[in-house]
Amino acid sequence: MSAYLVVDLDIKDLASIADYRSKALPLVAKAGGRLIALDDAPLELEGWHATNMLIIEFPDMEAIRNLFASPEYAPLARQRQAAAGSRIVALRGVKRPI
């Protein structure tokens, strides 16, 4: 079942985040992920002050866990954490639309 990584960043260093994304997105693709949404000005509707958000679809939750646990991603995670405040969650997809 598909799983989705939802990321909300408060970017402090735009150049470092751009560099991070150029290195992280190939690892995401290697893990079976694909970027499906990226917005630096999301529409705020209720109860969430979002700043810079993205959603990545993965084949399953295990692919997300493996990416975050991989030695290749560890230095990139530190780079992201130094360049932005991060709120990240992983969600399981549904078997069929509601």
Which tens digits make up the pLDDT trace of 27-38? 999 999 999 999
3 state SS of 18: helix
Retrieve residue 25's tokens.
Answer: 């997105």
Mean pLDDT comparison of 42-46, 47-51, 75-79, 93-97, highest-scoring range:
75-79
**Reported CATH class of domain 3-92:** alpha beta
Threshold 0.75, pTM exceeds: yes
Find out whether 54 and 38 touch, Cβ atoms under 8 Å: yes
What is d(CA 52, CA 41) in angstroms, rounded to the nearest whole number? 6
Strand partners, 3: 58, 92
Candidates 88, 98, 90; CA nearest to 2 is 90
